[in-house]
């Protein structure tokens, strides 16, 4: 369900909601939209539209209604009452996928923390809502309030405990990281919008078998492998990382901040883009936004436009290596197909020359616009 409030990319966002639902193991059966100037305070949409959804849901046997926009706890509850079905929003869905996918101990703790934080804001708001309600009917301090206060305290306690466990795991990981740093490696991280093909490219480059699938957030944990670049006569370390998405829930960015930061704590970011997705420019901007948020927008980037094989002839680029402007910065770009192994040799050569420059102690050349042939 999407309520068109005039935001750009409304269609693409709703399409993505369908993919998110599938990634969470659901089967989308209908797509409903409506236009509004502003959300309705109680139901988010008009009651006529809500009746229409209810009818369609009964006809099609829907089990759940998903909204692309964030619902307030009150709106969610009112809708559930009106539709007699569970109602959830995009944030909930992303948290759900992360919870299903988290494998490492640390990943699980981070997702747990994000979910608890999401839940606690809902409880707090629900509590104030109930308070108002009970005040209205002359029942201050009723049993509901006491129960919620108890829940709130319990969640608060659990959040505290989860944070403590998380910081213990992080300390352990930092020791491992220091050990790695001593090896004086050149670190490259694959980053990009979810489903761009990072894991497929990772596997193709290092002949590993990281999980790659047509799902959003197939990868949650960072995997690192050594990549030997014959042309440079040295190895570099390559990391596959979690994908980014529009409106990543804030709790998740916070919870994953350390992991994200470590993942992209690299000498070079290979920013993988799904060139066959018509919305790639928007996806690039979203990735840039997250990079800024975690303070990684200063790391040199090489844009890898992937899925070259999936482009129709009229969209095929004339040159497989050129530059592309992001945020007003000319960024070197290279076209590949990770799946069909097209352009990988050129990519390896490019990485080799970058790694070589750095070995000769000319790290600054990476950022210098005067370097012949572009930034890199
Ligand atoms: N046609 C085509 N499909 C590709 C290519 N590379 C990857 N894919 C497909 O794109 C989908 C996503 O690939 P992944 O490698 O899992 O993408 P990812 O960026 O790691 O995704 P997340 O880990 O979910 O963020 C899979 O179905 C891949 O088979 C390519 O070069 N061409
Ligand atoms: Mg992946």
90-111 tens-digit pLDDT:
888 888 888 887 877 888 888 8
Least confident of 16-20, 211-215, 347-351: 211-215
pLDDT value of residue 310: 97
304: domain range? 185-366
Q: How far is the CA of 330 from the centre of ligand 2 (A)?
A: 26
Please, which pLDDT band fits residue 74 given cuts at 50, 70 and 90?
confident
Counting from 1 in the atom list of ligand 1, the atom nearest the Cα of 215 is 24
Nearest ligand to the CA of 198 is: 1
CA distances from 245 to 20, 142, 151, 304 (A): 10, 42, 31, 18
Are 212 and 355 within one domain? Answer: yes
Ligand nearest to the CA of residue 192, numbered in listed order: 1
pLDDT of residue 222: 77
Domain boundary among 47, 73, 97: 97
Is 31 a member of any domain? yes
Domain membership of residue 373 (yes or no) is no
* 234, 257, 301 from 264: Cα distances, Å: 21, 10, 11
Domain shared by 354 and 315, yes or no: yes
Number of structural domains found in the chain: 3
Half-sphere exposure of 304 (CA within 13 A, CB side): 33
**Ligand in nearest proximity to the CA of 306:** 1
For a ligand 1 pocket test, name from 94, 194, 198, 212 the mutation site with the most ligand atoms within 8 angstroms of its C-beta: 212
Q: What is the pLDDT of residue 278?
A: 92
Question: Do 270 and 339 have their domain in common?
Answer: yes
- The confidence score (pLDDT) of residue 138 equals 40
Mean pLDDT of 46-64: 93
Residue 100 three-state SS: helix
How wide is the angle at C-alpha 39 spanned by C-alphas 36 and 41, nearest 5°? Answer: 145
> Looking at 53, 76, 97, which one is the last position of a domain?
97
Same domain, yes or no: 252 and 321: yes
pLDDT at 140 over 70: no
For a mutational test of ligand 1's pocket, the pick from 339, 340, 344, 347, i.e. the residue with the most ligand atoms closer than 8 A to its C-beta, is 339
Do 111 and 205 reside in the same domain of the chain? no
Q: Indicate which ligand has the atom closest to the C-alpha of 343.
A: 1
Q: Report the chain's mean pLDDT, rounded to a whole number.
A: 82
pLDDT over 70 for what percent of the chain?
83
Q: What integer is the mean pLDDT of 120-135?
A: 51
Sheet holding 187-192, edge to edge: 223-229, 234-240, 187-192, 268-274, 301-306, 329-335, 321-326
pTM for the model: 0.80
Which residues fall within 8 angstroms of residue 51, CB to CB, at 6 or more apart?
A: none
Contact 354, 366 (CB under 8 A): yes
Query: Bigger pLDDT: 119 or 316?
Result: 316
Q: What's the confidence (pLDDT) of residue 152?
A: 80
CATH value at residue 308: 3.40.50.300
* 171 within some domain: no
Confidence band, pLDDT 50/70/90 cuts, at residue 231: confident
Query: For residues 116 and 158, is the Cβ–Cβ distance under 8 A?
Result: yes
Say whether both 215 and 355 belong to one domain. yes
Residues, beta carbon < 5 Å, ion ligand 2 = 198-199, 218-219
Same domain, yes or no: 226 and 355: yes
Please check whether residues 203 and 337 belong to one and the same domain.
yes
Pocket test for ligand 1, best of 103, 107, 193, 197 (most atoms within 8 A of CB): 197
Same domain assignment for residues 200 and 227:
yes
- Does residue 179 lie within any of the structural domains? no
Is residue 374 one of the residues assigned to a domain? no
> How far is ligand 1, taken at its centre, from the CA of residue 276, in Å?
11
Strand segments, DSSP code E, in the chain are 2-4, 33-35, 65-67, 87-89, 187-192, 223-229, 234-240, 268-274, 301-306, 321-326, 329-335
**pLDDT top residue among 317 and 219:** 317
Ligand 1 environment, Cβ below 6 A: 192, 194-200, 212-219, 243, 306-307, 309-310, 337-340
CATH number reported for the structural domain that contains residue 42 in this entry: 3.40.50.11060
Cα separation, 193 vs 191, whole angstroms: 7
Q: Is 114 exposed, middle or buried (0-12, 13-18, 19+ CB in 10 A)?
A: buried
Per the domain annotation, does 356 fall within a domain?
A: yes
Q: How do residues 302-333 score in pLDDT, each as one tens digit?
A: 999 999 999 998 889 999 999 999 988 899 99
Contact between 267 and 218 under an 8 Å Cβ cutoff? The reply is: no
Residue among 249, 234, 230 at smallest CA distance from 116: 249
For residues 221 and 345, state if they share a domain. Answer: yes
Tell me, what's the pLDDT at 179?
58
Q: How wide is the angle at C-alpha 250 spanned by C-alphas 257 and 11, nearest 5°?
A: 120
Atom of ligand 1 lying closest to residue 219 CA: 23
């Amino acid at each position: 369900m999407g309520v068109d409030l005039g935001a750009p990319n409304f269609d693409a966002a709703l399409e993505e909601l369908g993919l998110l639902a599938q990634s969470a193991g659901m089967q989308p059966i209908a797509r409903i939209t409506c236009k509004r100037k502003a959300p309705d305070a109680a139901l988010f949409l008009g009651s006529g539209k809500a009746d229409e959804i209810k009818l369609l849901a009964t006809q099609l046997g829907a089990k759940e209604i998903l909204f692309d926009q964030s619902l307030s706890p009150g709106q969610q509850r009112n809708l559930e009452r009106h539709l007699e079905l569970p109602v959830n929003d995009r944030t909930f869905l992303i948290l759900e996928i992360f919870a299903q996918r988290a494998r490492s101990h640390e990943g699980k703790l981070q997702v747990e923390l994000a979910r608890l934080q999401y839940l606690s804001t809902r409880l707090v708001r629900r509590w104030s809502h109930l308070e108002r309600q009970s005040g209205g009917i002359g029942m201050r301090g009723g049993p509901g309030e006491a129960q919620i206060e108890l829940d709130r305290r319990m969640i608060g306690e659990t959040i505290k405990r989860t944070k403590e466990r998380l910081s213990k795991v992080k300390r352990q990981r930092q020791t491992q990281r220091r050990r790695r740093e001593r090896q004086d490696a050149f670190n490259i991280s694959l980053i990009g919008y979810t489903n761009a093909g990072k894991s497929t490219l990772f596997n193709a480059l290092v002949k590993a078998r990281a999980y790659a699938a047509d799902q959003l957030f197939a990868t949650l944990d960072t995997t690192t492998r050594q990549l030997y670049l014959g042309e440079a006569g040295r190895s570099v370390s390559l990391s596959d990382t979690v994908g980014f998405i529009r409106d990543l829930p804030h709790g998740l960015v916070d919870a994953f901040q350390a992991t994200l930061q470590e993942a992209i704590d690299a000498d070079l970011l290979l920013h993988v883009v799904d060139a066959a997705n018509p919305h790639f420019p928007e996806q690039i901007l979203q990735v840039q936004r997250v990079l800024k948020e975690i303070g990684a927008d200063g790391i040199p980037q090489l844009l890898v436009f992937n899925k070259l094989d999936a482009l129709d002839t009229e969209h095929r680029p004339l040159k497989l290596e050129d530059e592309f402007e992001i945020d007003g910065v000319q960024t070197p770009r290279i076209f590949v197909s990770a799946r069909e192994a097209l352009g990988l040799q050129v990519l390896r050569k490019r990485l080799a020359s970058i790694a070589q420059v750095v070995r000769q102690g000319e790290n600054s050349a990476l950022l210098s616009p005067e370097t012949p042939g572009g930034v890199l």
